Structures are given as structure tokens and as C-alpha cells.
Chain A
Amino acid sequence: MKTGALAAQTRAETILQLRRGENLVVTLAIPLGILVFFAKIDSVTTAGFAHPVDFLVPGVLSLAVMASAMVSLGIATGFERRYGVLKRLGSTPLSRGGLLISKTATVLGLEILQILLVVVVGVAIGWDVPAGIVPAVGLLLLGTIAFAGIGMLMAGTLRAEANLAAANGLFLVLLFLGGMAYPLDKLPTALQDFAKALPAAALSETVRSVLSAHAFPTGELAVLIAWAVGAPLLAARYFRWEE
């Protein structure tokens, strides 16, 4: 496989992502909008957080990763499958491995842009960048693997339209149950237990703890690791390259 091919593929995938307006809404506008809006209405002042932005930045970073790795990657891949692009690429020298490397690089590139913007906006509204930013990035990578696995599982098994609806619907559910815009303890107890088994809350709670020096939630980390292992394995097992 040629490195030139990987670079060209990553470039093309990135151009395609940036050309899709709805993709920019879900990956950039919604996370930044939630950060600014919920910081201003100050609905989330919870024990242990001096300022709502301390709660919100870790949640919005997690939300951004979910938007890129699950929604953006999943919907694009689903339509590439519908239009026979994945099939066509299968008979070029760009192997499936090469395609996956390029898609990974595209998602990571988009996430770097998201993280920079969230941090810049967060600082502008009063967030102090804490020391835990490095382990936080590691956790966001783990979340990327989990959400990419979920996105690719849906993209490779559902029809393109069903995948579009499922990815957006799941994004909304995980936003509500993910402890991202408001604390999980605002939810009914039964719903809290359910939410804690999902990857969104596992990611936002672990990222929040390393960014705020709260006690590290090993249970949530175990949930996140389980999703990061299980979802890609299921995707690899059930992904169909042709619709």
C-alpha cells in the first residue's frame, strides 16, 4: 500500500466531511452550542464544581468525540456503502486496511479540531486547563474506538436511511443519558443505572474525573473498555461491504 494513496484518501475523506453541512452541525455547532448555552444558564451547578464550565467541558469533549466517531463516520460510511463506493474501492490497490487507516486519520483530524475549539471556547468563558488533560486525551481515544465501533456496526448492517436515523437518534439518547450537558444524578435512579452501562456516561464521567481530580471511577472505565473492545469486534463480525 502506498503512503501517497493513504494521504490522498484521508484528504478526500476530510474534504467530504467538511462539505457536509449537517456533519458540521452535529460535530461542531451542537457541542459548542451546548457548552456556551448550559454555561450561561448555569443549570448544572453541582457539588464539587466551582463553575459550570468545569462540569461542561469534559462532557462536551465526550459529546464531540461521540459526534465524530459514531455519527459522522457512521453516516458517511453508510452512504458510501449505499452508493457502491466501498465495493468499488475493494477492487483498487487501496486495501480495506488502507481505507480503515484513512477513515481513522480523518476522524482523529476532525477530533483534534473539535478539542481545540472546545478548549478555546471553554477558556474564553472561564475554564482553567487542568493538569489532567493528557490522560483525558487517552480516554477520549478509548471513547473514539468504542463509538467508531458502534457507528461502523450500524453503517455496515443497516440500510443507509435507517442508519442515518439510528445514528442521529442514538446520538440524542446518549446526549440525554450521557452526563454531558447536565449531571446524571438529575435522572431518575433506575434510568441512572441504565445510563451508567452506556458508553457516553462512561466516557464523560471518566474524562470529568481526570480533569477535576475527583476520585477516579474504575467501574465507568471498565464499562468504557468493554464498549471499546466489544463494539469494534461486533462491527468486524457483521459489517457487510455491500448493501
Chain B
Amino acid sequence: MSAAASDPAISVAGLVKHYGPTKAVDGLSFDVARGEVFGLLGPNGAGKTTTVETLEGYRDPDAGTVRVLGLDPVRNAPALRPRIGVMLQEGGLYPGLKPLELLRLFAAYYDDAESPESLLDTVGLRDAANTSVRRLSGGQKQRLSLAAALIGRPEVVFLDEPTAGMDPHARATTWQLVRDLRDRGVTVLLTTHAMDEAEQLCDRVAIVTGGKLAALGSPAELTRHAVSDEIWFAAAPGLDVLAIGRALGLGGDGVVEDRVVEDRPGEYVIRAPGTPERIADLACFLRDENVTLAALQAGRRSLEEVFLQITAEEAR
């Protein structure tokens, strides 16, 4: 029954799942290799949570097959449950227990659990050890939920929007935990809305829209061919966008307006390809105006832009 090490940790083949007349997942297929950190991206309602919950054994597929560690999550549940860790999108914690009590309870379910005390330290909840769960902040609850997913030393971890509601510090802690999991060879399947999270953490991502696979690959692969014909930079807010346009020679056809815009305060978009000459002209302008450049992107689109483009195309 147990799968070979070269077999995928997770395999989804032709998964279909309906809720009444709605097709939540519509023929989705992908594999996740052992030790891989895999991101499932998509707009709300794309079928991400349904897919994850099918892998966790909560839902039976209407069609297609899913396997986790070579096992059927529903029919082989008793064999699979000790080997997976689950973080639900929300809830799952007894409001009346304290974090340490909760982790000790979850540790009792597994044969070789981590130490509840040290895991509480790892997720930064030592100070909240004696606060009941109902009085924890949203981010603290998320971290406790993450700790509960990891307490049984799982081989495969499912994290459904793990950093939603976390402050930047907790987010960084969580990212580090995911990297540590990868270093230990643990397979991680996570869903997220944060493209920077996917870019930072995931070996590969699948972009899902309308229950179907829209793109699959590493973040670098997905962005490699997405050539941008825009320059984006960040600097002090309130720069003279018309002057920038003239400095970059964008006034030649007489329409400088709208070629350079301040998209958000201090963030500028130049609607022209980022040729070496234009970048040099921009640098000269900033030198002459004594403006410090905070960030610059040209040539390649970010994963976020690729995501928005793909999901917008699918929506049409």
C-alpha cells in the first residue's frame, strides 16, 4: 500500500466536485513531489479549498482520483491521518482551552509527537500559553492552528491560507517554518492569495480558475515569458510625471499625459518598454531632481501581474 519514494506525495487526476448545480472543481490534475512546497493560487471560489479538503479526506470526489502518499484519503483514512497535518482556513480550535493544553491534547493523538512546549515557542506563542483560545488575536489563532498541524511530525502538510490575518512578524515566522519543513523533506501544499508568499515559498504553483488548471510551474517559469512593456518604480510621492515623460523622450508624439502615472502615492508606472536607454534616462532624471529610488522593476512581470492576467483571461 505504501508508495515508493519516487512516487508523488500528492496526486490529483481529473478531480471533479459539484455542490448542487455548481461545479466547484472541474477536471483538475496535478502532482506534488515529495519534499516540494506547492502553492495553489486562484481567486475566491476557484475551487482551492474544495481541492485541499478532498485531499484531507473531508470530501469524496464526484469524479477523478486523489492520492496522498499513495493512499485514498477517504477509504484509507485511518492509515493516512497519522501522516498528515491539516490547517483549516478557519476554526478548528477549542475556544475554552489554552494553547498549551490544546497542543498537549493534539500531541496525544500521535505516536511520535513534537514537544508541545517547544512548538509553542517555535510559533511564538509562549507568552500566550495561559490565555484561552477565545481571547487570542486572529494571527495568534492562525499560529496555534499551524502548530496543531505540525505537532504529529506529518509527512504532508496542508495549509489553507496560512498567513491570512497575520501581522508581518507572524508572517515571517510562518514563512520560516515552511522553509524549515522543506529542509526536513516535508511536503507542503498551501493555498494563498498573497503572490509574494507564493513567490517566496513555493517550488511550484498551480493557478486555478473556475475549478480548472490555468497555469502550472515554478514562479520563475511562470514569469519568464511574461515580458512587461512597462517600467515600475517607487520613489518619493508627488513627482512631476509630465517632466518624467519628457525626460524619457515620451513626449515625441505630443501625448505625454497618461504615459507616466503615479499609480499609488510614491509608485509610478511608465507605459513604455524598459529599454536600457530609458532606464538610463530615468536614472539621470532622478539624479538631476535629487530623488532617491526605492524600487525599480522592468522587463519581467511579477507573479502577481501574471496571476491577474491569467485570471482575467479566464474570466472572459
Q: What chain A residues lie within 8 Å of B109 (beta carbons)?
A: 2, 5, 8, 92-94
For chain A, which range describes its interface: under 10, 10 to 19, 20 to 34, or 35 or more residues? 20 to 34
Give the interface SS of chain B, mostly helix, strand, loop or mixed. loop
Q: What chain B residues lie within 8 Å of A83 (beta carbons)?
A: 91-95
Q: Is A8 within 8 A of B108, CB to CB?
A: yes
Q: What chain B residues lie within 8 Å of A92 (beta carbons)?
A: 81, 86, 106, 109, 152
Shortest CB distance B158–A (Å):
8
Q: What chain B residues lie within 8 Å of A80 (beta carbons)?
A: 94
- Complex CA distance for A94 and B81, rounded to whole angstroms: 9
A88 in contact with B108 given A12-B101, A93-B82, A95-B78 (CB within 8 Å):
no
- Complex CA distance for A94 and B86, rounded to whole angstroms: 14
Shortest CB distance B55–A (Å):
10
Kindly state whether residue B13 has any CB partner on chain A within 8 Å. Answer: no
Q: 8 Å CB contacts to A: which residues of B74-99?
A: 78, 81-82, 84, 86, 88, 90-97
Kindly state whether residue A132 has any CB partner on chain B within 8 Å. Answer: no
Q: Is B58 within 8 A of A90, CB to CB?
A: yes
Q: What chain B residues lie within 8 Å of A87 (beta carbons)?
A: 58, 88, 91-92
Q: Smallest CB-CB separation from A11: which chain B residue?
A: B105
Shortest CB distance A241–B (Å):
9
- Give the most central of B81, B94, B106: most A CB within 10 Å: B94
Q: What chain B residues lie within 8 Å of A15 (beta carbons)?
A: 96-97, 101
Q: Smallest CB-CB separation from A80: which chain B residue?
A: B94
Q: Which of B57, B92, B97, B101 contacts A88 (CB 8 A)?
A: B92
Kindly state whether residue B110 has any CB partner on chain A within 8 Å. Answer: yes
Q: Is A5 within 8 A of B108, CB to CB?
A: yes
Q: What chain A residues lie within 8 Å of B152 (beta carbons)?
A: 92-93
Q: Is A84 within 8 A of B101, CB to CB?
A: no
Q: Is A85 within 8 A of B93, CB to CB?
A: yes
Kindly state whether residue A206 has any CB partner on chain B within 8 Å. Answer: no
Kindly state whether residue B111 has any CB partner on chain A within 8 Å. Answer: yes
Q: What chain B residues lie within 8 Å of A5 (beta carbons)?
A: 108-109
Q: Smallest CB-CB separation from A12: which chain B residue?
A: B105
Q: 8 Å CB contacts to A: which residues of B99-118?
A: 101, 104-106, 108-111
Q: What chain B residues lie within 8 Å of A79 (beta carbons)?
A: 95
Kindly state whether residue A20 has any CB partner on chain B within 8 Å. Answer: yes
Q: Return the CB mask of A1-17 against B: 1 if under 8 Å, else 0.
A: 01011011100100110
Kindly state whether residue B155 has any CB partner on chain A within 8 Å. Answer: no
- Complex CA distance for A83 and B133, rounded to whole angstroms: 11
A16 in contact with B94 given A91-B58, A93-B81 (CB within 8 Å):
yes
Q: What chain B residues lie within 8 Å of A94 (beta carbons)?
A: 109
Q: Which of A4, A19, A91 contacts B56 (CB 8 A)?
A: A91
Q: Is B94 within 8 A of A8, CB to CB?
A: no
Q: Which of A2, A9, A19, A91 contacts B96 (CB 8 A)?
A: A19
Q: What chain B residues lie within 8 Å of A90 (beta carbons)?
A: 57-58
- Give the most central of A2, A15, A93: most B CB within 10 Å: A93
Q: 8 Å CB contacts to B: which residues of A46-97?
A: 79-80, 83-85, 87-88, 90-95
Q: Is B105 within 8 A of A9, CB to CB?
A: yes
Q: What chain A residues lie within 8 Å of B93 (beta carbons)?
A: 83-85, 88
Q: What chain A residues lie within 8 Å of B78 (beta carbons)?
A: 93, 95
- Give the most central of B58, B92, B97: most A CB within 10 Å: B92
- Complex CA distance for A87 and B59, rounded to whole angstroms: 11
Q: Is A2 within 8 A of B111, CB to CB?
A: yes
- Complex CA distance for A240 and B108, rounded to whole angstroms: 26
Q: Smallest CB-CB separation from A85: which chain B residue?
A: B94
Q: Smallest CB-CB separation from B134: which chain A residue?
A: A83
Shortest CB distance A95–B (Å):
7
Q: Return the CB mask of B213-244 against A: 1 if under 8 Å, else 0.
A: 00000000000000000000000000000000
Shortest CB distance A77–B (Å):
12
Q: Is B94 within 8 A of A12, CB to CB?
A: yes
Q: Smallest CB-CB separation from B148: which chain A residue?
A: A88
Q: Which of A4, A12, A91 contacts B97 (CB 8 A)?
A: A12
- Complex CA distance for A7 and B107, rounded to whole angstroms: 12
A88 in contact with B82 given A2-B111, A12-B94 (CB within 8 Å):
no
Q: Is A84 within 8 A of B104, CB to CB?
A: no
A84 in contact with B96 given A8-B105, A8-B108, A15-B101 (CB within 8 Å):
no
Q: Could you name 25 residue pairs across A and B whose Cβ atoms are closer than 8 Å?
A: A2-B109, A7-B108, A8-B108, A9-B105, A9-B108, A12-B94, A79-B95, A80-B94, A83-B91, A83-B93, A83-B95, A84-B88, A84-B90, A84-B93, A85-B91, A85-B94, A87-B58, A88-B88, A88-B148, A91-B58, A91-B84, A92-B86, A93-B78, A93-B82, A93-B109
Known: A5-B108, A8-B109. 4 other contacts (CB 8 A): A15-B101, A91-B58, A91-B81, A93-B109
| In the A-B complex, the 7 residue pairs with the closest CB atoms | A84-B91, A88-B92, A8-B108, A91-B86, A84-B92, A93-B82, A16-B96
